[in-house]
Amino acid sequence: MQSFRTEIENPVVEKDIIELANKIAAFNNLQIDEEKFRSLRLARGVYGQRQEGVQMIRIKIPYGKLKSNQLRRISEVSDEYSRGRLHITTRQDIQIHYVDLNRTPELWAELERDDVTLREACGNVVRNVTASETAGIDVNEPFDVSPYADALYKFFLRNPICQEMGRKFKVSFSSTDEDTGLSYLHDLGYIAKIQDGVRGFKVMVAGGLGSQPRHADVLYDFLPSDKIIPVMEGVLRIFDRYGERKSRAKARMKFLLKDIGLDAFRDLIAQEQKAIEFKSVVIDADGYVPSKPVSVEAPEVAIKDQTAFNLWKSTNIIPQKQEGYVAIGIKVLLGDFYTDKARLLADLVDNYAAGEVRLTLRQNIVIPFVKEELVPFFYQELEKLGFVEAGYNKAVDITACPGTDTCNLGIASSTGIAEELERVIAAEYPQYLQNEDLVIKISGCMNACGQHNMANIGFQGMTVRTKDKLVAPALQVLLGGGNLGNGNALFADKVVKVPSRRGPEALRRILNDFEANANGKEFVHYYKEKGEKYFYDFLNDLQDVTNLTQEDFIDWGEEEKYVKAIGVGECAGVVIDLIATLFLESEEKIENAREASENGVYSGAIYYAYQSLVNTAKAMLLAENKKTNTHAGIIAQFDELFVASGKIELNTTFSELIYQINKNAPNKEFCSQYINDSEDLLQKVKRFRELSNTFAESVI
């Protein structure tokens, strides 16, 4: 294995980084299966990108709060290991690109010097916990959700119950009923509430975007804050056990809830509580230390262009509940900015604000705790950085994923069309510069990283084919989505599909119609009133592909003729014994279980043992070419094929043995027995397989 040591003080983090280094070495030496290696590196923020031989690194920024020293550290890492560009995602993360896989452990170690992590930024885990960017300063919030988002993020980070789920799991916190955290499209969404003087949350469950968007259901109208972690643990355990694992298209929480039903799902959560160690987790909100603004005199400033300054103030200043302070919204074009500007921004907020910035769900930056009298000074300093474009969170502020720039799955250029549409709005519809209602979002494919299907006006990258079988880049135009507040929303309808070069004309027609006929209605209500066919009728002719020009075959931001090319992941190039790999993993999980047990972490130890039991059963089913779509299915099939048939002798059924996990409290005695059960099964299965292989060889 690779010899790699860090100078990280936290032994848990250091072990994590060394493990990544060792697994990279094993993968390079063709010792571990590519699929398993992918799972491990994704859970550590290392993601393959469209260009061969390099990786995208996703840096986790919990609830979007980024301290100035952390921003400097990320900038240093980007300069050293990447290309000096930082990309803000729609989940408040930062991504850097073109990183050598072999350098990712040392990159991670550098980030951890300022408590910045890659852990569980990607993969089938609990992803970054997002929150309203105005948490703690919002004039309408009943309380600051930051301590609750922080506690939940820390509780589930590296938690054994959510390390190898069938698919990713997304969580958000909204500060107010405006639901700026977008609870309705998350696996779990929390909206801050106070009931009878008690802090708590309205809880939404099983929302999602993608090719089949689903509006979340109300799991609880009100859940006291000390129950949010136990309930989420129950949800994760159920998702891990019953969630689809083979078909990625059906592996999200939204499909599981559809199959189980909401009432049955609540019953399963209640049943699971017996196995959960902490029935109540009181979150010390008073102990959470928010950033404090510095005390500084306002320097004298002479504003050169008072008109531009006044326009910027009207669109980019956010009221704060703290008297005498405002927040400043920075519109970041497509979420991309560079390390030279990032360092100067860090210095600015250190010296004149509260030493932090917030990353937003619309790929922007917020500077909280700016003294009102310092606003002209901040405008002057931000202007030097190119950060005073008016229209923060307004119609001209378009959200877009990276698309074909770097993403493996991108079909069309979302960044190129976004820049063109912003230019069209600024030049031809300046009145929309201050329109907060009109939300425009673009995704390069159906996966909806740009959140196109929840926008008022959305565009999704696609292709069109002529009668001569020529392929041109295209955009699916979606209309009518919108956030209605308090967990309620509408998803957009697919109206027409047009060649990409006609995207601006489609937007012009939509805006012209809205201007002429809406009579003051918000777009989401105007669209609902008119209906899909109304918009289809005046956009339909743009779908015609019989009259395409040469320009129509060149995507926005490109110079060459369009070629549809969806990237693929890396390939190990050899066939590795997957069964042996799974047995090795079962052994590792038993070792993890014993270590956790010795440290008194019985709940985690029990879950490691559970994972070993499932893993061992899965290995045998794969050897028999059986489906292993869900944990529950694996358990039932192993009973039928190996236990009931007498091939593997147990003193009970496999189901009864493994489901002890949700019938016993996580204490030392049960933990020890359950770990022994998992090791006993592994040894029996390995012996059975050895005997079977020996018999097969003798027959041959």
Query: In the chain, what percentage of residues exceed pLDDT 90?
Result: 72
Answer yes or no: do 377 and 232 share one domain.
no
* Domain limit, last residue, from 520, 553, 586: 553
Residue 185 lies in a domain: yes
Q: What is the pLDDT of residue 408?
A: 60
User: What residue spans of 446-522 are helical by DSSP H?
Assistant: 503-517
Residue 3 lies in a domain: no
Q: Tokens 């060649």, residue?
A: 499
Answer yes or no: do 549 and 405 share one domain.
yes
Going by DSSP bridges, is the β-strand pair 217-224/198-205 parallel, antiparallel, or unpaired? antiparallel
Three-class SS of 110-133: HHHCCCCECCCCCCCCECCCEECC
Q: What is the DSSP letter of 511?
A: H
For residue 580, pLDDT over 80 is answered with: no
Computed on alpha carbons and rounded to an integer, the radius of gyration of the chain in Å comes to: 27
DSSP string, 35-57: HHHHHHHHTTTEEE-SSTT-EEE
Residue 392 lies in a domain: no
For residue 642, pLDDT over 60 is answered with: yes
Average the pLDDT over each of 148-157, 305-314, 343-352, 390-399 and give the range with the smallest value.
390-399
For the segment 558-568, the average pLDDT, to the nearest whole number, is 59
Three-class SS of 444-455: CCCCCCCCHHHC
The candidate with the shortest Cα–Cα distance to 440, out of 474, 464, 472, 414, is 414
Answer yes or no: do 75 and 22 share one domain.
yes
293 Cβ partners below 8 Å, 6+ apart? 325, 353, 354, 369, 370, 371
CATH of the domain at 83: 3.90.480.20
For residue 637, pLDDT over 90 is answered with: yes
pLDDT tens-digit series, residues 582-613: 888 899 999 999 999 999 999 999 999 999 99
Residue 683 lies in a domain: yes
Token pair for residue 656?
């009864």
Q: With H, G, I as helix, E, B as strand and everything else as coil, classify residue 97.
A: strand
User: What residue spans of 136-207 are helical by DSSP H?
Assistant: 146-156
Upper half-sphere CA count for residue 411 (Cβ side, 13 Å): 22
Residue 558 lies in a domain: no
- Contact of 586 with 596, CB cutoff 8 Å: no
Residue type at position 121: A
Residue type at position 387: F
For the segment 373-382, the average pLDDT, to the nearest whole number, is 97
Average pLDDT, the chain: 90
CA distances from 121 to 92, 116, 118, 171, 211 (A): 11, 11, 6, 13, 22
When pLDDT is cut at 50, 70 and 90, the band that residue 385 belongs to is very high
How would you class 428 by CB atoms within 10 Å of its CB: exposed for 0-12, middle for 13-18, buried for 19 or more?
middle
Answer yes or no: do 246 and 142 share one domain.
yes
End-to-end CA distance of the chain: give it in Å, rounded. 37
Answer yes or no: do 416 and 375 share one domain.
no
Token pair for residue 128?
């970054």
Residue 293 lies in a domain: no
Residue type at position 515: E
CA distances from 169 to 31, 41, 73 (A): 30, 17, 28
- Contact of 268 with 236, CB cutoff 8 Å: no
Q: What is the pLDDT of residue 416?
A: 87
Token pair for residue 346?
């860090």
* Domain limit, last residue, from 83, 112, 141: 112
Q: What is the pLDDT of residue 578?
A: 67
Residue 56 to residue 45: CA distance in whole angstroms: 8
Residue 93 to residue 507: CA distance in whole angstroms: 29
Residue 174 lies in a domain: yes
Residue 138 to residue 664: CA distance in whole angstroms: 43
The count of domains in the chain is 5
CATH of the domain at 174: 3.30.413.10
Answer yes or no: do 441 and 356 share one domain.
no
For the segment 103-113, the average pLDDT, to the nearest whole number, is 96
Q: What is the pLDDT of residue 606?
A: 97
Q: With H, G, I as helix, E, B as strand and everything else as coil, classify residue 545.
A: coil
Q: What is the DSSP letter of 625?
A: T
- Contact of 573 with 641, CB cutoff 8 Å: no
Residue 553 to residue 501: CA distance in whole angstroms: 8
CATH of the domain at 318: 3.30.70.3340
Phi, psi of 56 (to 5 degrees): -95, 135
Query: In the chain, what percentage of residues exceed pLDDT 70?
Result: 94
Residue 107 to residue 4: CA distance in whole angstroms: 12
Answer yes or no: do 471 and 533 share one domain.
yes
For residue 563, pLDDT over 80 is answered with: no
For residue 190, the cross-strand partners are: 173, 203
For residue 7, pLDDT over 80 is answered with: no
Q: What is the pLDDT of residue 405?
A: 62
Residue 623 to residue 573: CA distance in whole angstroms: 21
How would you class 698 by CB atoms within 10 Å of its CB: exposed for 0-12, middle for 13-18, buried for 19 or more?
exposed
For residue 406, pLDDT over 90 is answered with: no
When pLDDT is cut at 50, 70 and 90, the band that residue 571 belongs to is very low
Answer yes or no: do 483 and 447 share one domain.
yes
CATH of the domain at 690: 1.20.120.330
Average the pLDDT over each of 142-156, 226-240, 462-476, 492-506 and give the range with the smallest value.
462-476
For residue 258, pLDDT over 50 is answered with: yes
For the segment 655-670, the average pLDDT, to the nearest whole number, is 95
Answer yes or no: do 373 and 483 share one domain.
no
Q: What is the pLDDT of residue 494?
A: 95
Answer yes or no: do 585 and 537 share one domain.
no
When pLDDT is cut at 50, 70 and 90, the band that residue 564 belongs to is low
Answer yes or no: do 75 and 150 share one domain.
no
Answer yes or no: do 447 and 593 share one domain.
no
Dihedral angle sign, alpha carbons of residues 131, 134, 137, 139:
negative
644 Cβ partners below 8 Å, 6+ apart? 653
pLDDT tens-digit series, residues 161-173: 999 899 999 999 9
Which comes out higher in pLDDT, residue 561 or 481?
481
pLDDT tens-digit series, residues 277-327: 999 999 999 999 888 899 898 898 999 999 999 999 999 999 999 999 999
Residue 569 lies in a domain: no
Q: What is the pLDDT of residue 2?
A: 47
Residue type at position 639: D
For residue 506, pLDDT over 90 is answered with: yes
Taking the CB of residue 242, how many other CB atoms lie within 10 A of it?
A: 17
Q: What is the pLDDT of residue 144?
A: 97
Quick one: how far is CA 164 from the chain centroid?
A: 16
Residue 614 to residue 219: CA distance in whole angstroms: 29
Residue 418 to residue 402: CA distance in whole angstroms: 10
pLDDT tens-digit series, residues 178-215: 999 999 999 999 999 999 999 999 999 999 998 889 99
- Contact of 424 with 394, CB cutoff 8 Å: no
Q: What is the pLDDT of residue 493?
A: 95
Residue 59 to residue 122: CA distance in whole angstroms: 9
- Contact of 510 with 425, CB cutoff 8 Å: no
Average the pLDDT over each of 358-372, 456-470, 632-646 and give the range with the smallest value.
456-470
Q: What is the pLDDT of residue 568?
A: 39
Average the pLDDT over each of 69-73, 508-512, 573-577 and give the range with the smallest value.
573-577
For the segment 363-387, the average pLDDT, to the nearest whole number, is 97
Residue 327 to residue 475: CA distance in whole angstroms: 36
When pLDDT is cut at 50, 70 and 90, the band that residue 566 belongs to is very low
Domain containing residue 318: 307-384
* Domain limit, last residue, from 384, 418, 439: 384
For residue 6, pLDDT over 60 is answered with: no
Residue 354 to residue 346: CA distance in whole angstroms: 10
